[in-house]
Amino acid sequence: MNSLGRRVLVVAFDGWNDAGEAATAAATQLRESRPYDPVYSVDPELYFDYMYTRPHIQADADGRRSLKWPDATIWRPRATARGTRLWVLSGAEPARAWKSFAAELVDAALSEDITGVVALGSMMSDVPHTRPITVFSGSDNDELRAALGLERSTYEGPVGILSVIAAAAEEAGIPTAALWASVPHYVAGHSPSPKATLALLDKLESITGAKVARGSLPGDALAWEATIDAAAADDEEMTEYIRQLEQTRDTWDSPEASGDAIAQEFEKYLRHRGDGSDGRGLGRGPHR
């Protein structure tokens, strides 16, 4: 048994933590791969600003329309098979009362006897879409780092709700790891990013030992990459830019490269996120 135990809560929130929708798509894939039951939801009135995260109106199969409010829900796997089981916590990043929000959900996790937490996130990075998606795998828990070969981030600066929940879980005695996929920043117009979702699920399976169904993601990832290849082929400047990213990535992957390269890219992203740095996007030109 690894240090995360056999009852692992996988956490993913849309918004700041979810470039290319990679993290929330991974949570959706988990929930759709087998039966799950909702076991706990927060009161949206306490945590969400509806001017920022608006409710949606939707129709069911019979045409009846109803409001769907922003939420955060813990889902329990219905099956009780041997081996590691994955609970899922997903929803929208709250607008207020983050400490209370995290404390409430960690209390609910404790009531489910959760033994470990894995937070899923994704970030826009200077990486090529043609290479395997890099996943930063880290933890502030000494035992987890030793057992699973995880990194320890040295980042200091603004964080999202994932970090707040991770801190609350660790304080409550639940060991927590974080997986962050690097999504090529120039493919912002080609969301979602199934290749990044697939990379997160691959790493999740690796560190938890749980069997994770991939569904159509392998084929979707190939189609996503081919679509970007076709778009870049019509843009000589973009083709050259991607080639430069490939050369940098290949240097990182060489035997002589530092083992801290992925961690440094992760921290660079967080440090400079929203600082107005120049970037490129397919069909968009430079943007800020």
What are the pLDDT digits (tens) for 9-61?
Answer: 999 999 888 999 999 999 999 999 999 999 999 999 999 999 999 999 999 88
Tell me what the pLDDT averaged over the chain comes to: 86
- Categorize the per-residue pLDDT at 194 as very low, low, confident or very high, splitting at 50, 70 and 90: very high
- Categorize the per-residue pLDDT at 190 as very low, low, confident or very high, splitting at 50, 70 and 90: low
The shares of helix, strand and coil residues in the chain, as percent rounded to the nearest 5, are 40, 20, 35
Q: Which pTM does this prediction carry?
A: 0.84
The H or E element spanning position 270 is helix 261-272
Who wins on pLDDT, 261 or 241? 241
Please state, in angstroms and rounded to a whole number, the distance separating the CA atoms of residues 197 and 214: 9
Overall average pLDDT of the 111-117 stretch: 97
Peptide bond into 192 cis (omega under 30): yes
b/e map 208-227, b = 16+ CB within 10 Å = bebebebbebeebbeebbee
Please state, in angstroms and rounded to a whole number, the distance separating the CA atoms of residues 190 and 194: 10
What's at 133, amino acid-wise?
Answer: I
The alpha-helical segments, DSSP class H, found in 74-185 are 98-111, 142-148, 161-171
Please state, in angstroms and rounded to a whole number, the distance separating the CA atoms of residues 185 and 83: 37
Tell me the pLDDT tens digit for each residue of 245-286: 888 777 766 665 555 555 565 566 555 554 444 444 454 332
Is the model's pLDDT at 73 over the cut of 90? yes
Neighbours of 44 (CB within 10 A): 17
